[in-house]
Chain A
Amino acid sequence: MKLITAVIKPFKLDDVKAALQAFGVRGLTITEASGYGRQRGHTEVYRGAEYQVDLVPKVRVEVLCEDEDADDLIGVVVKAAQTGRIGDGKVWSVPVETVVRVRTGERGPDAI
């Protein structure tokens, strides 16, 4: 099993959710996140006051899947989240040892 994590632009969340649903993903976790990548921060002037934007708001999406679906899923997320501009985000996957569904106690792929 794999855990796919995507850090994307907030406004792309609806598109990514729709694409994942179409792919057959039944559950996902979303966190409001902030960070920066290659674009770093930038300085803005607002109402006469300068301020530094260090961290850009992002959304972090996490999905569990079976090994054979991982590459396709990553492809789906990338396609849905892409604007082609700087700050589009990242997607990565890591192997997962165990998954347990808390309600039923099911383990492994059944619990996804």
Chain B
Amino acid sequence: METVTSFALDRARRTGQADRWLAELLGAEPGVALVAVGGYGRRELLPRSDLDVLLLHGGRDGIAAIADRIWYPVWDSGAELDHAVRTVPQARRVARADLKVALGLLTARHVAGDPDLTERLREGALEDWRAAAPTRMAELHAAHDERTKISGELAFLLEPDLKEARGGLRDVQAIQAVAAAWVAPAPGPKVRTAYEQILDARHALHEITGRRLDRLVLEEQDEVARALGLLDGDVLLRMLAGAARTVAYAVDHTFRQADRLRSRRLRRRPAERRPLADGVVEQDGEVVLARATDPAADPVLVLRAAAAAAQAGLPLAPRTLDRLTECPPLPVPWPVAARDALLALLGAGPAAISVWEALDTEGLITSLIPDWERVRNRPQRNPLHKFTVDRHLVEAAAHAAALTREVARPDLLLLAALLHDVGKGWPGDHSVTGAVMARDIGRRMGLPEPDVELVASAVRHHLLLPMVATRRDLDDPVTVKQVAVLVPSRTLLELLHALAISDGLATGPAAWNDWKATLVTDLVRRVAAVLDGQPMPEPAPLRDDQLALAAGGGPAAIVRGSEVTVVAPDRPGLLWRAAGVLASHRLTVRSANATSVAGTAVTVFDVEPEFGEPPDPTLVAGDLRRMLLGRLDVQDRLERRARAVPPRGALIPAPKVILVDEASETATVVEVRAHDAPGLLWRVGRALGECGLNVRAARVETLGAEVVDVFYVTDADGEPLTDRERRRATVRSVLAALTG
């Protein structure tokens, strides 16, 4: 049901007045017509709108005098006039060359004079538009992307441009233009209502400011809200956010249909399906479910599909989103696979934002994290902030994804960034309430208790570093000591540092700049100096059954469920060769623990299949044994596998390799932070081996889609690395192995 607002009546009245006036000015003149185009053509004259008029003629003489007779009085009245004098063929020619003119002609409306002239123009313009549909659709799409780049998204900005921003008026006009080419259906009732809401807000804004203003600035929001009969600016922004989300979703869908029209013309063979994750495939540039997948039986599917889409930089198909709503709710606490998928989704950085938004439109985010409802579409009255609270959180997580190499716990950084302002949905200090909520959400996600506490502390103190750095004397030892009391570990300090940067970048240009970054870095350095070095994760102690195996001396390989144990006389290269065999069987190493007992190396892997059913354990064990006996070419196997790796569209931060000295007296500790990839452990291990180093022990952990691996290495004489040049060479070759 569409209601006609007093604003709509006012627009119709203004349009009628303008029509009558122009008709009077033209008088009874043969062979000419006055045509309203653009917003005037749509009968949407706002108080400060341009009068967009075309004087159409059949090529007669004295047209300039007629034009003067009409334009001068309009100019004299002070109205803004956008005018042109053309014949029908001229108008069509200009429209063919200029998208804006073509769009204006799609809404051409006869005002006065010879109606046949106007009709010829309308029909001709539509015919041209349809004939050039494939190129026109591409131009429309490019214009939309350009507008989004410049003006951002209406739904998430605190001072949005109602006309140009994504989800704004221009997007609905674009949908109408696509529909005019018979490529996709016209806007439905929901989109039309949304359009009227946004148009009314723009109308009120013109009326109140007396200017042709399209950006809904903070200081006008309350008054615009009152003019629309709403309580205040917050209510107005929430309403506009809802409307803009509806429009943005519809315009995406429309453009996808338009794009498909083009790709179908270019390529006639059926679309390929490429696997991305278990039950999730790519088809036609979209992420869809594999044929046999049953959403109703797979609660993790929502996050797995979202993570696969974000990592591949592709959208989830609308039908797939629909089907994902059939997934049962996740059990509480979440299974590890769900948490990992959420982290892989967030770890994809900017590519995660549109996927998150798609899930949110279907209500899937609030069913994953019920507390999200409190921050959803929530505006914030703060001159520093650019975005609504929910979008600010997602933006912060996207920025955090670029900083995952700077912290020992990339997984907790991503979660803390996503949750740091979640307390803004409640009264009181949002850091304090946020910490309580983060603790609940962390437990719901099944994080181990120490990690829950770290995330809660990060949320509690997310403003600490920027505040102290700008307001306290950093030269005063008391300042540093006070921070060190609140931030007792380097792990937390690193998290807070990266969180401050991501939060600042996601807030807006006024909140973060080099100036502040320098101060915060200075503080972090000073606090780090008074904190003790953190212990490196050491290999976990062996269980009794593993010790018994080690006593046997091996070689042996046992595959039991997700646990793979390899026992063999210790020799260089064992760990990474075994990891290579596992990778060749499409097994992802979630964690690995390598130790050595009296000359026998025991390596325990925790693995999971990349997708599909796990491989036959007897085949894996057999290959491991052949590797131990030197009868398997692991490299060849992996190279053949590498060709089937899914594409990656997400922006992944470069890997980082750090040599840590204080962690061990008898070995050099090599810490590798990188994005997970098939065969990663194999490549790193081989690079270390080629540098003439022995991996004495290792602890490998995959946190979401990121890995943090720690290798205890010695040189051929069993000594830690001291030579500067050799240390540099080691870092270089491991980095080369990771990026190559």
Q: Is the CB of B525 within 8 A of A46?
A: yes
Name B518's contact: one of A48, A57, A83 (CB within 8 Å).
A57
Partner among A9, A32, A48, A57 whose Cβ is within 8 Å of the Cβ of B658: A48
Q: CB distance A85 to B475 under 8 Å? A: yes
Shortest Cβ-Cβ A-B pairs, 6 listed: A32-B515, A46-B525, A57-B519, A11-B473, A57-B518, A11-B472
Compute how far the CA of A85 lies from the CA of B474 in the bound complex, rounded to whole angstroms.
12
Complex contacts, A48 vs chain B, CB 8 Å: 658-659
With A11-B470, A11-B472, A83-B473 as given contacts, are A34 and B518 in contact (CB-CB < 8 Å)? yes
Q: Cα distance A85–B515 when bound, in Å?
A: 21
> Does B17 lie at the interface of the complex (its beta carbon under 8 Å from any beta carbon of A)?
no
Which residue of B470, B474, B475, B525 is within 8 Å of A44 (Cβ)? B525
| Structural contact, B515 and A11, CB atoms closer than 8 A | no
Residues of B within 8 A of A56 (CB): 518
Chain A residues with Cβ under 8 A from B475's Cβ?
83, 85
With an 8 A cutoff between CB atoms, is A109 at the interface? no
- The interface residues of chain A lying within 8 Å CB-to-CB of B473 are 9, 11, 83
Is B471 interfacial (CB 8 A cutoff)?
yes
- A108 located at the interface, meaning its Cβ lies under 8 Å from any Cβ of chain B in the complex: no
Q: Evaluate contact between A10 and B470: CB separation under 8 angstroms.
A: yes
**Residues on B with beta carbons closer than 8 Å to the beta carbon of A33:** 515
Does B513 interact with chain A (Cβ within 8 Å)?
yes
Give the distance in Å from the alpha carbon of A64 to the alpha carbon of B491 in the complex.
Answer: 47
Does B666 interact with chain A (Cβ within 8 Å)?
no
Contact with A along B521-548 (1 / 0, CB 8 A): 1100100100000000000000000000
Contact residue among B471, B472, B515, B528 (Cβ-Cβ distance under 8 Å from A57): B515
Look across to chain B and name the residue whose beta carbon is closest to the beta carbon of A31.
B515
> Considering the chains assembled together, what is the distance between the CA atoms of A46 and B520 in angstroms?
13
Q: By the criterion CB–CB under 8 Å, are B515 and A34 in contact? A: yes
**CB of A67 within 8 A of chain B?**
no
B300-318 interface code vs A (CB 8 A; 1 in, 0 out):
0000000000000000000
A69 sits at the interface (CB 8 A)? no
Does A14 touch B at the CB level, under 8 Å?
A: yes
Interchain nearest-CB distance for B482 vs A (Å): 13
Minimum Cβ distance to chain A for residue B73 (Å) = 35
Say yes or no: B525 contacts A11, CB within 8 Å: no
What residues of A have a CB within 8 angstroms of the CB of B521 in the complex?
Answer: 46
The chain B residue with its CB closest to the CB of A34 is B515
For the complex, give the distance between the alpha carbons of A32 and B659 in Å: 37
* A14 and B471 within 8 A (CB): yes
Which residues of chain A are within 8 angstroms of B515 by Cβ–Cβ distance? Answer: 32-34, 57
Q: Distance (Å) between the CB of A104 and the closest chain B CB? A: 19
Q: Would you give the shortest CB distance from B331 to chain A, in whole angstroms?
A: 40
Contact with B along A72-83 (1 / 0, CB 8 A): 000000000001
CA distance A77 to B124 in the complex (A): 73
Nearest to A51 among chain B residues (CB) is B521
Q: Which residues of the other chain, B, contact A85 by a CB distance below 8 angstroms?
A: 475
A83 to B513, CA, bound (A): 26
Instruction: Name B471's closest neighbour in chain A (CB-CB).
Output: A11
B 169-185 to A, binary, CB cutoff 8 A, 1 in contact else 0: 00000000000000000
What is the bound-complex CA distance between A34 and B514, given in angstroms? 10
User: What is the count of residue pairs linking A and B with beta-carbon distances less than 8 angstroms?
Assistant: 36
Measured CB to CB, the closest approach of chain A to B735, in angstroms, equals 15
Chain A binding surface SS class: mixed
Give the interface of B toward A (CB within 8 A): 470-475, 513-516, 518-519, 521-522, 525, 528, 658-659
Interface residues of A (CB under 8 A from B): 9-11, 13-14, 32-34, 44, 46-48, 53, 55-57, 83, 85
- Residues from chain B with a CB closer than 8 A to the CB of A32 are 513, 515-516
Residues of B contacting A13 in the complex (Cβ-Cβ under 8 angstroms): 471
In the assembly, what is the distance between CA of A13 and CA of B658, in Å? 39
Could you list some 6 contacts between A and B, CB below 8 A? Answer: A11-B471, A14-B471, A32-B516, A34-B514, A34-B518, A83-B473
Q: Within the assembled complex, what's the spacing in Å between the Cα atoms of A46 and B529?
A: 9
Structural contact, A10 and B519, CB atoms closer than 8 A: yes
CA distance A44 to B522 in the complex (A): 9
Shortest distance in angstroms between B532's beta carbon and chain A's nearest beta carbon? 16
Quick one: given A46-B525, A57-B519, are A11 and B474 in contact (CB under 8 Å)?
yes
A9 to B474, CA, bound (A): 10
CB proximity of B495 to chain A, nearest CB, Å: 15
Compute how far the CA of A14 lies from the CA of B470 in the bound complex, rounded to whole angstroms.
Answer: 10
Q: Give A53 to B521 CA distance when docked, in angstroms.
A: 11
A57 to B283 CA separation, bound complex (whole angstroms): 52
Nearest-Cβ distance from residue A83 to partner chain B, whole angstroms: 7
Report how far A85 CA is from B519 CA in the complex, Å.
18
Contacts of B516 in A (CB 8 A): 32, 57
Name the distance in Å between A45's Cβ and chain B's nearest Cβ: 9
| Cα of A14 to Cα of B467 in the assembled complex, Å | 12
**Bound Cα distance A55, B522 (Å):** 12
- Chain A residues with CB under 8 Å of B474's CB are 11
A45 nearest in chain B by CB position:
B525
| Residues in chain B near residue A53, CB distance under 8 A | 518, 522
Q: What is the distance, in angstroms, from A26's C-beta to the closest C-beta of chain B?
A: 20
Chain B: CB-nearest residue to A32? B515
From A11, A56, A85, residue with most partner B Cβ within 10 Å: A11
CB B132 to nearest CB in A, in angstroms, measures 51
CA distance A13 to B514 in the complex (A): 18
Nearest B residue to A12 via CB reads: B473
Q: How far is the CA of A85 from the CA of B513 in the complex (A)?
A: 26
Whose C-beta in chain B lies nearest to the C-beta of A44?
A: B525
- Specify which chain A residues have a CB less than 8 angstroms from the CB of B513 in the assembled complex: 32
Complex Cα distance A70/B650, Å?
A: 58
Give the residue name and chain of the A residue nearest to B510 (CB). A32
Report the bound CA distance from A32 to B519 in whole Å. Answer: 11
Complex Cα distance, B522 from A53, in Å, reads: 10
Q: Which residue of the partner chain A has the closest CB to B472?
A: A11
Instruction: Give the chain B neighbours of A57 by CB distance below 8 A.
Output: 515-516, 518-519
* Interchain CA distance A84-B496 in the complex, whole Å: 31
- The answer for the CA separation of A55 and B519 in the assembled complex, in Å, is 11
Of chain B, the residue at the smallest CB distance from A10 is: B470
Cα–Cα distance between A98 and B472 once the two chains are bound (Å)? 37
What residue in chain A is nearest B479 (Cβ atoms)?
A11
| Measured CA separation A27–B475 after assembly (Å) | 30
Report how far A10 CA is from B522 CA in the complex, Å.
13
Contacts A10-B471, A53-B522 known; 17 new A-B pairs at CB < 8 A: A9-B473, A10-B470, A11-B470, A14-B471, A33-B515, A34-B514, A44-B525, A46-B528, A47-B658, A48-B658, A48-B659, A53-B518, A56-B518, A57-B516, A57-B518, A83-B475, A85-B475
Contact partners of A10 in chain B: CB under 8 A: 470-471, 519
User: Within 8 Å CB of A14, what residues of B?
Assistant: 471
Measured CB to CB, the nearest residue on chain B to A58 is B515
For residue B470, which residues in chain A have a CB less than 8 angstroms away from its CB?
Answer: 10-11
Question: Could you tell me the distance between the alpha carbons of A20 and B522 in the complex, rounded to whole angstroms?
Answer: 28
Query: What's the Cα separation between A57 and B472 when bound, in Å?
Result: 13
Q: What's the minimum C-beta distance from B172 to chain A, rounded to whole angstroms?
A: 39
- Cα(A33)–Cα(B471), bound, Å: 15
Q: How far is the CA of A57 from the CA of B519 in the complex (A)?
A: 7
How far, in angstroms, from A33 to B518 measured CA to CA in the complex? 11
Q: Which of A47, A53, A57 has the most CB of B within 10 A?
A: A57
